Structure 1
């Protein structure tokens, strides 16, 4: 079976890129699977995560990220030209490769991939929730754009042979449910026996320094937590410009108990050295960081944002899910875990057990069944 994945690039240290590369590496090691990644704007950069040599990588050199400054009309024209170039080059490549299945990661090809009649079945997968644009809470004309794009997405997803979402919660939010399947993200090496001892006085958070992840709130909350627990350290492994966050930490005199460190390929070391995972995101898809944290036996405290945490965390079993606006409860629940070693280790043990549901073998079997299903539909 020949499978092609399309995405903007593989050079970013994001959760979507990590999930994609884990999947293609798994598939490429199976007999009779021929796997490709087609990018639109790799620009010669190396992938952040290691891709198997068995996976063929092709870049279309469209480069949406290279924008023209100045006149909005010129910028709009430039964007349209790139969009046309992308469609033309992808169409040519798909007719050349003749894949059985093409999977879009819901990036720049989402509105035209389903129109390319190369004989392949088209699958669309999304790594954020339906309302992610609306949750950005932008104002004015940009709010109208977000509403329109959300409406447009409802129409587009119905045109694919399958649309795969990450949570049951998100599935219920889409207008058309006839072609929707729910498949969780997988945790690679989910059967590993390496877990944290939960003895170190360290908490962990990982994410981009963007509005979505709400790391500024986490700093404020840790300032409150540290009043009772000044001997605990919070490490934030961050992607992006962290200057403003660092200044906030210094202004609150927290630089000795909050460490900002850059993203790394050795992220497992931070999980193993930590005793608690914290998440303050405003919205998510299905957070890989929570899946990975519980795989290393970490209890979790997270706000109940849309979507993901409630399908990973079993409240009062492997952590706590906190009502989004209840900052006091967040501080109290974190303090309970810091103070109670027995509770912490019970939650950690339950987290490791729960992680088996998200094992790579379990999740990839669901993908293989989906591939067989859609290809059988094509022949019937």
Structure 2
């Protein structure tokens, strides 16, 4: 029996974010199971940041950024042509905004269509395309996959009349069988993500500015790159914060997780928060804003980390101080609870859920 041809439609696989990481994970896992995997980028994407199975075919619609509004019809026709020429059986939109193109592109074709939401329904980033894409996905896709039960509820409440089945498949951890015992004596606080408004590193810097002098032998590492770098560096200089580093984007994130003692997530919003799964894989205690959506489905408050009401900087500061001040026995207890919670995010469990719908 012929294995299905599965196509992931994505913005640009060259990026190094959580969306690109989890797409690579699922695509690789399906390729290993014998499925024929295609990844179609809207723009560029022919030099993926994360390692792809060499059996996966990668293509792009446009070699550089173009106006999608001006190229709407052309993009639709290109996707349709690609799907037909490659006998695609299932097409997965990696981000609900892409349904604006893929829904009309697949009209009349016998191709299973899945919309994979990577933000949450309450976040549209001011994009009318994303709002339209979600409506189209709910009416015309076979499935809409959300990353959390909370977001599934948002979709169901917002769009009462729909043909798509809304289901939750949480992201898998990107790591298998990591052997790491965090050391409090490393005195390193880690945060990972793009240097953008969404990730809230401006908030984390305000918190660290208030407490760093009380912990002069501790340091904060914010690993990632983005358009907010200059603003963050200006804040650091203005407030004379010395025990902090912004090393930029890296292919060797493993070394940063291994030297960390505590992990922080300061995001204003998330789809799930892949970095939380990464941090748990390394056994790190976490303090995180309880933003929409994701942290509350990963962190068990006061067991393997602390959840803080969104944007409550003062409480975040208190919880971070609490983690820093843990006794060795308390710290070890947090690590043990983190490892236990992590098991439910295994790649094997998550891939089996995908196999049921593709």
TM above 0.5, one fold?
A: yes
Match 1:318 to one of 304, 310, 320: 304
Stretch deviating more after TM superposition (91-100 or 109-118):
109-118
Distance 1:345 1:57 in 2: 44
Extract unaligned runs of 5+ from structure 1.
68-78, 137-141, 372-380
Match 2:183 to one of 197, 208, 212: 197
Match 2:135 to one of 154, 159, 167: 154
Distance 2:307 2:313 in 1: 12
Post-superposition Cα deviations, 1:20-43, rounded to whole Å, max 9, x if no partner, equal 111111111113x11110112117
Q: Superposition RMSD on alpha carbons, in Å?
A: 1.9
Deviation at 1:358, TM superposition (A): 0.7
Is 1:114 matched with 2:116? no
Name the structure 2 match of 1:82. 71
Name the structure 2 match of 1:181. 167
Q: How does 1:294-373 map to 2 (within 5 A)?
A: 294-340=280-326, 341-371=328-358
Distance 2:97 2:76 in 1: 9
Name the structure 1 match of 2:41. 39
Distance 2:5 2:11 in 1: 20
Distance 1:105 1:83 in 2: 18
Name the structure 2 match of 1:95. 84
Distance 2:76 2:99 in 1: 10
Q: Is residue 97–residue 130 contact of structure 2 (8 Å, CA) maintained in 1?
A: no
Relative to 1, partners in 2 of residues 1:151 and 1:173: Cα closer, same or farther, differing over 3 Å?
A: farther
Q: Is residue 209–residue 240 contact of structure 1 (8 Å, CA) maintained in 2?
A: yes
Equivalent residue pairs, number = 346
Name the structure 2 match of 1:211. 197
Name the structure 1 match of 2:26. 23
Post-superposition Cα deviations, 1:271-327, rounded to whole Å, max 9, x if no partner, equal 110010111111100000111001100000011111010000000110000112432
Distance 2:59 2:132 in 1: 32
Extract unaligned runs of 5+ from structure 2.
none
Match 1:245 to one of 213, 220, 232: 232
Q: Is residue 6–residue 102 contact of structure 1 (8 Å, CA) maintained in 2?
A: yes
Q: Is residue 190–residue 355 contact of structure 1 (8 Å, CA) maintained in 2?
A: no
Name the structure 1 match of 2:122. 131
Q: Which contiguous aligned blocks of 4+ residues in structure 1 show a shift greater than 4 angstroms? A: none
Distance 1:2 1:156 in 2: 21
Name the structure 1 match of 2:220. 234
How does the TM-score come out when normalised to structure 1?
Answer: 0.86
**SS state at 1:110 partner:** helix
Deviation at 1:352, TM superposition (A): 1.6
Distance 2:213 2:98 in 1: 50
